[in-house]
Amino acid sequence: MLKIFTDPRCLEHQSPPGYPELPDRLLSVVDRLREQGWEIEPPAAGDASTQQAEDAVSVVHDPRYVARLKAAVQRGDGLIDSADNPLSSGTWSAALAAVDSALRACDWAVAEPERKAFVAVRPPGHHAERATAMGFCYFNTIAVAAEYLLHRHRLERVAILDFDVHHGNGSQHLFEDRAEVFFVSLHQFPFYPGTGARSEIGHGAGEGATLNVPMAVGSGDEAYLRAFEDDVLPALRRFAPDLLLVSAGFDAWRGDPLGGMNVSAAGYEAWGQLLAGLASAVCAGRIVSVLEGGYDIPSLGDLAVSYLRGLDSAAVDAG
């Protein structure tokens, strides 16, 4: 079963002209998902849900950073931490709504086997570190979801797979010294943000719980398939998470203006099939995917649909 989680408040974050991370990204995805007939969960209502999201954020992010972001939005500051992170009056509510949607998706997915959720939200999150906004990201939504699953739902092991074209430095940073979260990333390398070498494997208790699979510029479906089969799937199978989280960026698409890869729509569908099969084998089919990057707005909705068709396929290969 596949369900979509989204929130119109995510459209309230505005970017200046020339920024690629725009509300139209989310509109293009949600419109296409609605056309496909997948069930879309109504957004949460009320202060309690928003407060839960803020509380969950403050577990993962430095509370001083959370307060600094909130104050900067209230003051009407134009940026926070870098030129890649513009602020508008709706940034705070949009970032919290993204987290809230992901937490509700986790609540739903853990309740029954073979539940797959897609969280269609913005701004993205995987670059945000504990006390720093960067790369269009303010709160690390996928990391907050992982922590929430461990503590609210008492899961023992959670995996994060990040296939955005950019390395998820924030997600790695937040969990690299912990063994209960396994972080796997396939990404263009070398590329922004400069992290993600294969030698980065975590440290301390988390040594070996980080797997980076750097991909050469121009890599397409065949190269990614080899990486999945040789590195990603065996590692996830060994870790055997209780639930698989996916940072689903669609900027490895061959037409993306910010990436340099050559992945097709069929490639994303194949990834969805592979992950559905893996999840059925190791974590009762439970997957929560969260939208990250993807900046070719005319194609973004179709790419998300391709990936979700793969996830929702009736016939998947668990190998």
Domains defined for the chain, CATH in brackets: 2-311 (3.40.800.20)
* DSSP code of residue 283: S
Mean pLDDT value of segment 30-58: 91
* DSSP code of residue 44: P
pLDDT tens profile 197-240: 999 999 999 999 999 999 999 999 999 999 999 999 999 999 99
**Confidence band, pLDDT 50/70/90 cuts, at residue 319:** very low
Which one of the listed residues 13, 61, 126, 127 is annotated catalytic? 127
Residues 60, 147 contacting (CB under 8 angstroms): yes
Mean pLDDT value of segment 181-203: 98
173 is catalytic: no
Residues 156, 185 contacting (CB under 8 angstroms): no
- Provide the pLDDT for residue 314: 52
pLDDT tens profile 4-42: 999 999 999 999 988 999 999 999 999 999 999 999 999
Peptide bond into 123 cis (omega under 30): yes
Task: Give me the helices (H) in the chain, please.
Answer: 23-36, 47-60, 63-75, 91-111, 141-151, 169-175, 221-227, 233-239, 265-282, 297-311
- Strands 287-291, 116-120: parallel, antiparallel or unpaired by DSSP? parallel
- In angstroms, rounded to a whole number, what is the distance separating the alpha carbons of residues 258 and 319? 33
Buried-state track 52-82, b at ≥16 Cβ within 10 A, e below 16 = bbbebbbebbeeebbebbeebbeeeeeebbe
- Provide the pLDDT for residue 68: 98
Mean pLDDT value of segment 131-147: 98
Tell me: pLDDT of 318 over 80. Answer: no
Residue showing tokens 């009320």:
46
- What is the C-alpha end-to-end distance of the chain, expressed in Å? 21
Peptide bond into 63 cis (omega under 30): no
- Provide the pLDDT for residue 300: 98
Residue showing tokens 């990603």:
232
Q: What percent of the chain clears pLDDT 70, i.e. is strictly above it?
A: 98
Backbone phi and psi for residue 131, each to the nearest 5 degrees, phi listed first: -130, 20
pTM over 0.85: yes
pLDDT tens profile 81-107: 999 999 999 999 999 999 999 999 999
Please list, in sequence order, all residues whose beta carbon lies within 8 angstroms of the beta carbon of residue 62, skipping any fewer than 6 positions away. 130, 131
